[in-house]
Amino acid sequence: MAETLLIVFVVFILLGTPISIALGIGALAASFLFPALNPIIIPTRFVGLISDSYLLLSAPLFILAGNIAARGGVARIIIDLATAVVGRFRGGLAYVNVADSMVFGGISGSAVADVSALGTFLIPQMERKGYDRDFATALTVSTAVVAPIIPPSIIAVIYAWMADQSVAAMFAAGIIPGLLIGLGMAVPVFFIARARNYPREEPPTLPQFLRVLGRSLPALMIPVIIMGGIIFGLFTPTEAAAVAVVYALVVPPIFYREPSWRELPRIFADSARLSGVIGLIIGFVGAFGWVLTYSKFPFAVAEAIAAIAPHWTLFILMVIALYVMLGTFLTPSEIILVTVPVLLPVAQAAGVDPIHFGLVCVIASAVGHITPPVGLCLFVGMAISGLPMEKLVKPLLPFLAAIIVTLILVAMVPEVTLFLPRLLGFAQ
């Protein structure tokens, strides 16, 4: 049964079918071929999974809040603030790029929104200041990986729902790894900036810095409201997402005169389109996962992996290698939705904390945003810079190496992810 399901799924993926449709066809094929299953279960699982989860409602709301912020002048004011703080160093705009992604990622939760909002300003600006276009593009694309890791993270919400874990714990667990990845990418920036003699930015005077800081405070309040409200128990993650939407609709137009009311229909339509794609995948994953569970396939996989990787560290390294490979042709949300039902029981059997495992999965799947041939952030960066993919592969390598090294550190030292959730009382 499981073999039929997986063969049909893989065949349709190879034929170029969207993954959501391939999942549904695979589940439907298994239900038709095996009398023990009833095809009516497929739509039942689809509708039930989508309609019964209050937590999942936070994902489209975070997407909407991020899109509003991305087009509401927030990106530009964050660039100004980062320039005032780190622009004075050699290769200042490159450090600005890293810092911007860490801050804006805490607002949008989306790597694609990060590249779209920040890359439109930073890539041309860096090129005008004497930075190589391929370096500016590769850096902008790479730093966007931080966005799905630092809260609020849409991928973390999806994992928390699938693994029946606390979203607040997943958000808290992503803070230190996100900061470490940002710092890790600053290392190649340091050496490349010195080797190529990239320029410094003029440091601001104290009044200039205070003026920029004051203008940025309304934007910086978005992640503060989200995380602060969740940590102090003022509202649930879904309520936090709704509050973020209202805040993004009200505050940027007042302080930054953007977005205009004429842009809102397009922002809502784009957010609905992306949310619909995720919802379709989630619905079909419900049917797909039900058939897999019914066939006892996850237990067979658990036994096989336990035989190959008897220690949890080897298992985690295998998961990282699998996710990086899958990231070359699947999006992070697709990877999480397809693999977690199978791998999570194995991780728990090996003694891996589900929060720690979830963060490893989130980071490893986010690498797929920048790996050819289907990295979404890579394509956005190519569209902004006008460079072909082959021109970006080599400049990407130092930053990709920094991400992988940090990922392995996070994977091998569970306390990196578990310290804050335990400190805040979200995990044992």
Give pLDDT tens digits along the chain (428 positions).
566 767 777 787 778 777 667 777 877 777 777 666 666 666 666 565 555 566 677 778 888 887 887 776 787 788 888 888 888 889 888 999 898 888 887 777 778 778 877 888 888 888 888 999 999 999 999 998 888 898 888 888 889 988 888 888 999 999 999 999 999 999 999 999 999 999 988 888 889 899 988 988 888 888 888 888 887 778 888 888 888 888 888 888 888 877 778 888 888 898 888 777 777 777 777 677 667 666 666 666 666 776 777 788 888 998 898 888 888 777 788 788 878 888 888 888 888 999 999 999 999 999 988 887 667 788 888 888 888 888 888 999 999 999 999 999 999 999 999 999 999 888 77
Q: Establish if 194 belongs to a structural domain.
A: yes
The DSSP secondary-structure symbol of 295 reads: T
Domain co-membership, 34 together with 144: no
CA-closest candidate to residue 173, choices 190, 156, 154: 156
Domain co-membership, 11 together with 82: no
Burial class (CB in 10 A: 0-12, 13-18, 19+), 95: buried
CA distance 223 to 60: 17
CA-closest candidate to residue 49, choices 280, 288, 293, 283: 283
Domain co-membership, 68 together with 34: no
Please say whether the beta carbons of 177 and 409 come within 8 A: no
CA distance 195 to 190: 9
Q: Establish if 46 belongs to a structural domain.
A: no
Burial class (CB in 10 A: 0-12, 13-18, 19+), 423: exposed
Q: Establish if 107 belongs to a structural domain.
A: yes
> What single letter denotes the amino acid at residue 341?
P
Domain co-membership, 20 together with 117: no
CA distance 137 to 323: 24
CA distance 340 to 159: 8
Q: Establish if 49 belongs to a structural domain.
A: no
The separation between the first and the last C-alpha atoms of the chain, rounded to the nearest angstrom, is 38
Domain co-membership, 209 together with 315: yes
Q: List all residues 6 or more positions away from 191 whose beta carbon is below 8 Å from its beta carbon.
A: none
Block residue for tokens 């850096």: 139
Domain co-membership, 5 together with 106: no
The torsion region of residue 283 among left (phi > 0), alpha (psi -120 to 50) and beta comes to alpha
Please say whether the beta carbons of 368 and 335 come within 8 A: yes
Angle 28-56-312 from CA coordinates, rounded to 5°: 80
Domain co-membership, 25 together with 61: no
CA distance 267 to 412: 40
Domain co-membership, 83 together with 10: no
Domain co-membership, 10 together with 89: no
Q: Establish if 130 belongs to a structural domain.
A: yes
Give the E-state strand segments of 195-306 in sequence order: none
User: How confident is the model at residue 301, as a pLDDT?
Assistant: 65
User: How confident is the model at residue 424, as a pLDDT?
Assistant: 86
CA distance 141 to 376: 9
CA distance 314 to 320: 10
| Total count of domains within the chain | 2
Q: Establish if 45 belongs to a structural domain.
A: no
Domain co-membership, 315 together with 278: yes
Phi, psi angle pair for 76, to nearest 5°: -65, -40
Q: Establish if 277 belongs to a structural domain.
A: yes
3-class DSSP string for 94-133: HHHHHHHHHHHHHHHCCHHHHHHHHHHHHHHHHHHCCCCH
Containing domain of residue 410, as a range? 54-423
> What single letter denotes the amino acid at residue 117?
A
Domain co-membership, 87 together with 138: yes
Domain co-membership, 30 together with 66: no
Block residue for tokens 């190589």: 132
Q: Establish if 48 belongs to a structural domain.
A: no
CA distance 341 to 336: 9
Give the E-state strand segments of 286-361 in sequence order: none
